[in-house]
Structure 1
């Protein structure tokens, strides 16, 4: 899954910068699996699990910034690289992932998408 990395890697942003982008209209995209998302997620995150990402990424808008998030930042970087390879231009990766978001004291939610 997402094996065809082209070497494109999205820029990392801090949790605070990611939250500011979301407040300004960016879409926060969580690529963890549903059970992880249900435990805790960054407030407002849209779930598209990495296991479904190659078939569902086209659901994401190309006309607004995308902030990718996972647990710690590795899976979301892969997903963001895939989006860049598919012609998305405004994609960043949330450094530290959901763990960093929580550590920064930013708002979270629980439950299913």
Structure 2
């Protein structure tokens, strides 16, 4: 089972903690606007790059709606990483976009 967090809870958590956020949308989507502090790790490149992620870090994974991030979380979790899917993705995000 994949861990998930509701968008509003994620927003609140970001206000109180420094989170490591992976945005798995493609580069052009990321450039159009993303959650502050997010790193762009496109789903299309994840299989070849995931080994650069630290297994001791907790990652919050976001995309446009929550579907690609759920797929990314399933993949990363299978690789031994601690991941949480942000449900609703950027469509539900009410915070600042940079």
Asked if Structure 1 and Structure 2 have the same fold, meaning a TM-score greater than 0.5 normalized by the shorter chain, the answer is yes
Are residue 65 (structure 1) and residue 65 (structure 2) matched?
Answer: no
Q: Which residue of 2 aligns with 1:96?
A: 88
Q: Distance in 2 between matches of 1:52 and 1:77?
A: 15
- Give 5+ residue unaligned stretches, structure 1: 1-8
Q: Which runs of 5+ in 2 are unaligned?
A: none
Match of residue 9, structure 2, among 1, 9, 17: 17
Structure 1 vs Structure 2 CA RMSD: 1.6
Match of 2:97 among 92, 105, 108: 108
Q: How many residues align?
A: 97
Distance in structure 1 (CA, Å) of the matches to 2:78 and 2:15: 23
Q: Secondary structure at the match of 2:60?
A: strand
Other structure's SS at 1:80 match: helix
| Divergent runs of 4+, >6 A | none
